Amino acid sequence: MVFSSLTFLFLFLPLVLLFYYILPSIRAKNILLLIASLVFYAWGEPVYVFLMVATALINWAFGLLMERGRKGLWCTLAVVFDLGCLIVFKYTGFLVENLNALCALSLPVPQIALPIGISFYTFQILSYVVDVKRGSVAVQRSFARFLLYVTLFPQLIAGPIVRYSDVEAELSDRTVSAQGVFYGLYRFCVGLGKKVLLADYAGSAASKMLDGTLAAQTTLGMWFGVLMFMFEIYFDFSGYSDMAIGMGRMFGFKYPENFRLPYTAKSITDFWRRWHISLSTFFRDYVYIPLGGNRRHVYLNLAVVWTLTGLWHGASWNFVLWGVYFLVLLVIERLLRKPIEHIPMVLRHAGTLLLILIGWNIFYFTDTSRLLESFRVLFGASGVGFTNHQTWILMLNSLPLAVLCAVCCTPLPRILGASLSVLCATDGHIGFRQYLFSIGMYVISIALLALSVISLTGSSFNAFLYFRF
């Protein structure tokens, strides 16, 4: 089940919300959310739901053992177990394939299905056991509450990566306000609109340019295709995060922000402070700083982090190259920080976007031969030339969408909303003007929901991109 399905929108979520608001106690609400979350996951992963529950149970037990002493030992065993599970299910085939190629072997390559969301819930569990070992959070003695933390369906499948410390207090005591519910509904509808009205259509345009025979593609068409994928992955992933944050607020949880207008960044460093914030801060706090951070072996620490960042996204060499690519860019920025600061801001922003665009091309092609061919086309060394009539037709058909996506990547929508809010709070009529503003937000939410539903009824299933990571 996915958020952008009609079953979820008109059956699952309304029923869960209805019973959640009816139930009187936090204990009853937690039981409902736990059951709903397990049903949500089992809807698409009826077998691997047992793996997730077993993983939660084992780590909960490790937490209790750490409370009794020898924290270092039990934490190490927990980390080894969690990463071992992740490696087995996500990287076994990749490791065997490369072992065969490296050693001229013919070992059978196991075909292990990837459990949905395993990269996300594994990191969430790791944050718990490491923080218990550090003493920054208390041991959760209730397995039901710990399992709820691991399985909570709004952020279970594709993040944001919610640390136990983020929701520790809310697992046992939280309140739901009308203002929070309204904000949650609005945020959910914005995320749904991002996914259905922008990401899916941008993805369709990108596929037309990038999924065919690359030798028959033009240079201009290739660049435009990567640009549309750049829009697709942002609105797809940030749309999911918006929906997760919105649903969290409906149930009384406050999840951390995962995106802050990343395509407005003025440097690659700035970009990674804005993109997938929960992942970058996870690697910072649990890998980079423990290795020494900025105190010692800085570049080695960066190399470890960005190799792991690439591998986290998938068992394929293009993801490793993608991580190394950003590693090189970040090292260059560190070494040339002073000269770069003298470059005009507009040029820095344009250069950053170009480098990000090239990075998404590496990310898109999991087949290394197609990846190399894509770069030949991008830089005019292959393909059928710079452009042709078919490329222009495809680009013109997608141009209004590209312009809309570009505008929605900027602060302009938020600026307009903030301006309306300020306008509605002037002239001494705060209550009435704020009421008008609230009505406007309701209208926007309903419009986005209606347009999304119309689009969903006439389109085929299109899962979130980060489901496969």
Closest Cα to residue 290, out of 306, 279, 304?
Answer: 304
DSSP 140-183: ---HHHHHHHHH-HHHHTT-----HHHHTTTTT-----HHHHHH
CB 91 within 8 A of CB 315: yes
Cα-trace Rg, the chain: 23
d(CA 465, CA 444): 26
Q: 313, 342, 389, 429: which one is catalytic? A: 313
Closest Cα to residue 262, out of 270, 273, 274?
Answer: 274
Helical (H) or strand (E) element with 455: helix 430-457
d(CA 106, CA 419): 64
Closest Cα to residue 240, out of 232, 229, 252?
Answer: 232
Tokens of 286: 């649990």
**Which three-class secondary structure string do you get for 231-255?**
HHHHHHHHHHHHHHHHHHHHCCCCC
d(CA 139, CA 137): 7
CB 39 within 8 A of CB 154: no
Give the residue carrying structure tokens 């029923």.
Answer: 15
Closest Cα to residue 421, out of 413, 433, 429, 411?
Answer: 433
According to DSSP, residue 259 is labeled: -
CB 225 within 8 A of CB 205: yes
Cis peptide before 115 (omega within 30 of 0): no
Tokens of 358: 């090239």
d(CA 283, CA 306): 9
Tokens of 138: 């208390």
* 313 classed as catalytic: yes
CB 434 within 8 A of CB 424: yes
According to DSSP, residue 8 is labeled: I
d(CA 194, CA 266): 23
CA 461 to chain centre: 19
Catalytic residues: 313
